[in-house]
Amino acid sequence: MSRYPRLSYNSLEQIATVVTSQRALHESAAARLRTAIFNSVWEHKPDETGRIADTGSTTRKSTYGKYSKSAKDSDGSFMYGDDDKGPLLRVAIEVDLDMWIKGRNAKVVILVCLRESPRFKNPEIAYEDIDDVNLELARMGQTVAKAGLSLEQGAYGPMEYRNRKWFGKLEEAFIECWRADRKRPFRTVLIENGHRKVHLPTTIGLKVRDFLSEAAWAAADIPDSDVRLDLDRYLQSLLIPVQATALSRFEDFIV
């Protein structure tokens, strides 16, 4: 179970970041991507890939140089069980948060950016005519379900109920693959100007070798192939979390 509130501390910049709550969209964006990546990597030789572990969202502390004493909760991570060095962090996943690639010596950091427009703000004026909360939530759920039909046409939002927007619109969505030895990421655009891309690629810049230790890769008999993903299915999997995010915002407001 995720822990909230969560705290990240960057000792270098002396900045503490508190995450007070996490919506369904944020959680699903990380979880679905982790699953897709793991399944793709697992298709290769099990003897070599069997030591790769999806360690989920876990707190990690750094002991590296200027990042010493910093702590961070990643949204996902993959570790490799090395015979000599023990578990090694290979790939980390962040959703809409700052990246931390040097502090933990990850080979790759995957950033998933989901930009909602306009950004959600709770209404300032409360409803005064809600007598039955459960009935109101049921009606909101029906409205969200109908709105989901438009999402299937490629537009993720808006979600409106009682003349207020409880989810704006996914105006932009992209995945970036950051490497410690490169200044610029490999970017894959999923949604642009409020609409999903018609033809999505099958790769995001990840390689199978990214998940193994250097020694294991040198000894493995695996082609240096891309980690292939069905990004159409990934985007489709975010439909229900978008609806759930709108519903939970409404519920938080009236309960």
* Amino acid letter for position 227: V
Q: How many CA atoms lie within 13 A of 100 on its CB side?
A: 29
Does a structural domain hold residue 144? no
Does a structural domain hold residue 140? no
Does a structural domain hold residue 211? yes
Does a structural domain hold residue 54? yes
Edge-to-edge, what's the strand order for the sheet holding 15-19?
Answer: 15-19, 6-10, 71-73, 59-61
**Domain range for residue 188?**
6-119+167-234
Band of the pLDDT at 99, cuts 50, 70, 90?
A: very low
Cβ 89 vs Cβ 60: under 8 Å: yes
> What residues pair up with 164 in beta bridges, in sequence order?
161
**pLDDT for the residue 4:** 41
Whole-model pTM above 0.85?
no
**pLDDT for the residue 181:** 81
Does a structural domain hold residue 115? yes
Q: How many folded domains does the chain comprise?
A: 1
Cβ 104 vs Cβ 88: under 8 Å: no
More confident residue, 247 or 224: 247
Segment 143-201, tens digit of pLDDT = 988 887 665 567 788 899 999 999 998 999 999 999 878 889 999 999 999 888 989 99
Range scoring the smallest mean pLDDT among 163-167, 220-224, 240-244: 220-224
Q: Which helix (H) or strand (E) holds 145?
A: helix 133-151
Residue 203, pLDDT > 90, answer yes
Does a structural domain hold residue 52? yes
Both tokens assigned to 70 = 């910093």
Does a structural domain hold residue 43? yes
Edge-to-edge, what's the strand order for the sheet holding 170-179?
Answer: 52-54, 76-82, 86-95, 108-116, 170-179, 186-192, 195-196
Does a structural domain hold residue 195? yes
